[in-house]
């Protein structure tokens, strides 16, 4: 810690350029003979300035207000100097000035943090993830302007109240049609992204206290939708003369039998399909979301769909194989298909991934560890979010258990 610096603060005046018989007031910081000056944007008449005391002369209300302000500036500069000493920072006239004016690294603003985060993460995070961060930024900016009546805020001003007030703003935010936009989990996702940005600020030493330290993110748990065997068969057996719906149906069924996500199906190419160690066809690709390599044996129904579009399309090995349109349109078409099949579930393309994990894999005795590998998860706990054991599987397992009990009992009786 630096303690051997000479340090002084004085107030002085210069003739005002804009007003006759007026003096403009400045403050000069001197450390080790190095000077920095700050204009205080205050004027005083020649007669009302005391050059010996470097303060306003007299007891009028105007002079008392001026002298109180000068005392405030003096104490703030002392405090800025003290902070730099405590933080073991470089002590100079310019660093004290910058700390006082809020221009040093310890006085970063929320918008500076957001800009720094987004500019650095844009090459790290996927486009879809970055879109979500831009949306969180939009809500933060709106909150600052509408509720706090400011365009930016210093990071040191962020506290627990800011977090809970921002949470309430998100919960009550309405669109142009006066409709609530966000449910609980939507609010939590925005706060989760904001928390990640705050954690970055702490790692960069732009903040000392974490305003999220006492705040807990609370997500509601929902059962993920999936198709039963009967519902899957209904969709498979439905034939469409409408080419648009037939293509989407095929792509959805393909995802049900491979567990691939929307983006991985959309970008699937022929060169990602190869013969495996068992001499059967496998899909070997990297998940777009996590960049994890997945190796999936192709089940017969999925292979039929590949062959259907391989023979009818002009795709080459490096071009996409399946005719999948935008995610928004795909989900809209899937709702038409569900209605045609009399399936009363909110079907989206991601339902296929849940169906693969639950109906095709786990309910047919495939171990959780194998399902996790097929889905491209790095943690088994992630797979457990997708997978649930359906009632028929529970019943089957209990029946097998009862049979083992009975066999054990018969073995004991025969031994008597």
Bridge partners of 282, per DSSP, are 274, 297
- Reading the chain (416 residues) residue by residue, the pLDDT tens digits are 445 678 999 999 999 888 788 999 999 999 999 999 999 999 999 999 999 999 999 999 999 999 999 999 999 999 999 988 887 888 999 989 988 887 776 678 999 999 999 999 998 888 888 999 999 999 999 999 999 999 999 898 999 999 999 999 999 999 998 999 999 999 999 999 999 999 999 999 888 899 999 999 999 887 778 899 999 999 999 999 999 999 999 999 999 999 999 999 999 998 899 988 888 899 988 887 777 888 999 999 999 999 998 876 555 556 888 999 999 999 999 999 999 999 999 999 999 999 999 889 988 888 888 988 898 887 887 777 766 656 566 677 788 888 888 888 888 888 77
Residue-level pLDDT at 1: 44
Residue-level pLDDT at 49: 95
CB atoms within 10 A of CB 302: 22
Residue-level pLDDT at 105: 62
Phi-psi region of 8 (alpha: psi -120 to 50; beta: other; left: phi over 0): beta
**pTM confidence score:** 0.62
Residue-level pLDDT at 106: 64
Q: Give the number of residues written for the chain.
A: 416
Question: What homologous superfamily does CATH list for 229-395?
Answer: Intergrase catalytic core (1.10.443.10)
Phi–psi pair at 136, nearest 5 degrees:
-60, -40
What is the Cα–Cα distance from 29 to 124, expressed in whole angstroms? 44
CB atoms within 10 A of CB 250: 20
Six-digit token pair at 44? 């005083």
- Tell me the domain boundaries of the chain: 7-106, 108-203, 229-395
Six-digit token pair at 304? 């039929």
């Amino acid at each position: 810690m630096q303690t051997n610096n000479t340090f002084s603060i004085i107030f002085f005046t210069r003739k005002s350029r804009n007003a006759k018989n007026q003096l403009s007031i400045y403050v000069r910081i001197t450390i080790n003979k190095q000077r920095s000056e700050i204009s205080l944007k205050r004027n005083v008449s020649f007669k009302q300035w005391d050059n010996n005391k470097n303060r306003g002369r007299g007891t009028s209300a105007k002079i008392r207000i001026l002298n109180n302000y000068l005392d405030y500036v003096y104490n703030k500069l002392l405090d800025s100097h003290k902070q730099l000493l405590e933080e073991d920072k470089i002590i100079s006239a310019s660093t004290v000035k910058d700390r006082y004016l809020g221009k040093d690294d310890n006085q970063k603003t929320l918008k500076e943090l957001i800009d720094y985060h987004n500019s650095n993460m844009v090459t790290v995070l996927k486009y879809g993830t970055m879109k979500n961060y831009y949306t969180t930024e939009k809500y933060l900016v709106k909150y600052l302007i509408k509720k706090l009546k400011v365009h930016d805020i210093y990071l040191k001003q962020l506290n627990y109240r800011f977090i809970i007030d921002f949470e309430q703003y998100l919960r009550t935010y309405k669109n142009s049609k006066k409709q609530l936009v966000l449910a609980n989990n939507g609010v939590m996702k925005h706060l989760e992204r904001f928390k990640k940005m705050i954690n970055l600020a702490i790692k960069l030493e732009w903040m000392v206290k974490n305003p999220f330290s006492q705040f807990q993110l609370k997500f509601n748990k929902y059962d993920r939708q999936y198709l039963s065997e009967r519902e899957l068969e209904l969709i498979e057996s439905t034939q469409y003369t409408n080419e648009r719906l037939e293509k989407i149906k095929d792509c959805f069924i393909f995802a049900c039998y491979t567990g691939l996500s929307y983006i991985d199906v959309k970008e699937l190419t022929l060169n990602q399909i190869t013969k495996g160690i068992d001499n059967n066809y496998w899909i070997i690709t990297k998940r777009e979301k996590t960049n994890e390599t997945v190796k999936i044996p192709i089940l017969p129904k999925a292979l039929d769909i590949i062959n259907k579009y391989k023979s009818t399309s002009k795709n080459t090995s490096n071009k996409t194989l399946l005719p999948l349109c935008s995610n928004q349109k795909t989900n809209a078409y899937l709702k038409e298909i569900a209605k045609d099949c009399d399936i009363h579930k909110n079907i989206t393309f991601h339902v296929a991934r849940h169906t693969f994990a639950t109906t095709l894999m786990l309910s047919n005795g495939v171990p959780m560890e194998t399902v996790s590998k097929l889905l491209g998860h790095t943690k088994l706990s992630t797979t457990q979010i997708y997978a649930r054991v359906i009632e028929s599987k529970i019943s089957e397992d209990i029946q097998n258990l009862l049979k083992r009990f009975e066999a054990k009992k018969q073995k004991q009786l025969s031994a008597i």
